[in-house]
Amino acid sequence: MGTIPTSGVQSRELTVAGVRTYLRRAGAGRPLLLLHGLGASSYSWRFALPEFARDFEVFAPDFPGFGRSDKPRDFDYSIAGLHAWLIALMDALGLQSARVAGNSMGGVVALWAAMETPARVERMALLGTPAYPENRPRALWPLGWPIIGRVLEAMLGETSLRWMAKTTFVDQSKVTEELIAEYGEPLKSAAGRRAVAEFIRHAVPADCRERVARYREVSQPALVLVGESDQMVGPAGAERLARDLPNARFVCVERCGHAPQEDAPERVNALLAEFFR
């Protein structure tokens, strides 16, 4: 599996809400949580970890079901379930509150945390975050269908990963064999494939419309960042979120796709540094 380009990053495992959890940590200072997207892992923050370790104690976990963390069959892979796990992680790390950056699925969990447990989120950067039902990954919706969804779940693997990477990244030089190996390894197991499918099946909560209406109640400072070529959220979807959040700033990054922290790391790190410092 992939490596993080710095000797200052430590890896550890801890049990969170009954799940063996893999975590990358670097630096010292105010806490900063980095949350990855669907099908990714803490590896997606490899360019950010050494940058922010200069000013923060940075934590980049693998969500249950992803990366090197365990993938229990009975885990609740809904947004609510991942949020509950995130709060348990913060408790395990002794973090009363933190700055939070989340990409895609990680951004959705960060936004949920800001709404449900506002005292735990000081400020948040939402990168390529599908905050509305119409922004959720339509290409993956069939995973939630009866019968055919199970068939498609079994087919998740390197071929589908390479297709997703092609549509996710503008800078195709970032799609290295190391990246494919890192994100492809969990899909070799039925448990890893199931975690992806289960999140998709629960990606739009029954009360989604009510939650969208509550975005205007979120008071934390927010940076809503999107890649100009993000095929899932798009600039329009992100700009809508920035309008709905009372204390948000909108930024669109040129020549960048759905994973800005990987696709354009230098520019995105600078924007995040300005926001978090």
Whether 43 maps to a domain, the answer reads yes
What is the reported pLDDT for 111? 98
Average pLDDT over residues 87-99: 99
What is the domain range of residue 230? 10-276
> How many domains would you assign to the chain?
1
**Residue 225 to residue 244: CA distance in whole angstroms:** 14
**Is residue 56 in some structural domain?**
yes
Q: Model pTM? A: 0.92
Average pLDDT of the residues in 85-92: 99
Looking at residue 193, its pLDDT comes to 86
Q: How far is CA 224 from the centre of its chain?
A: 14
Separation of alpha carbons 63 and 271, rounded Å: 25
51-72: per-residue pLDDT in tens? 999 999 999 999 999 999 999 9
Question: How many Å is the Cα radius of gyration of the chain?
Answer: 17
Residue 3 lies in a domain: no
Tokens of 26: 């670097």
pLDDT digits (tens, 9 = 90+) for 114-156: 999 999 999 999 999 999 987 765 555 555 556 555 646 555 6
DSSP string, 181-238: HHHHGGGGSHHHHHHHHHHHHTSS-TTHHHHHHGGGG--S-EEEEEETT-SSSHHHHH
In a domain, 5, yes or no: no
pLDDT in the model for residue 1: 44
1 within domain boundaries: no
- Asked if residue 78 belongs to a domain, the reply is yes
- Per-residue pLDDT band at 2 (split at 50, 70, 90): very low
Phi, psi of 67 (to 5 degrees): 55, -130
On whether residue 54 sits in a domain, the answer given is yes
pLDDT for the residue numbered 71: 97
Amino acid at 151: V
Query: Is 4 part of a structural domain of the chain?
Result: no
Residue 225 to residue 248: CA distance in whole angstroms: 10
Q: What is the pLDDT of residues 199-253, one digit of tens each?
A: 877 777 778 889 999 999 999 999 999 999 999 999 999 999 999 999 999 999 9
User: And the tokens for 234?
Assistant: 């798009």
Q: Kindly report the CATH number assigned to the domain that includes residue 157.
A: 3.40.50.1820
Q: Helices 148-155 and 190-201, interaxial angle, to 10°? A: 130
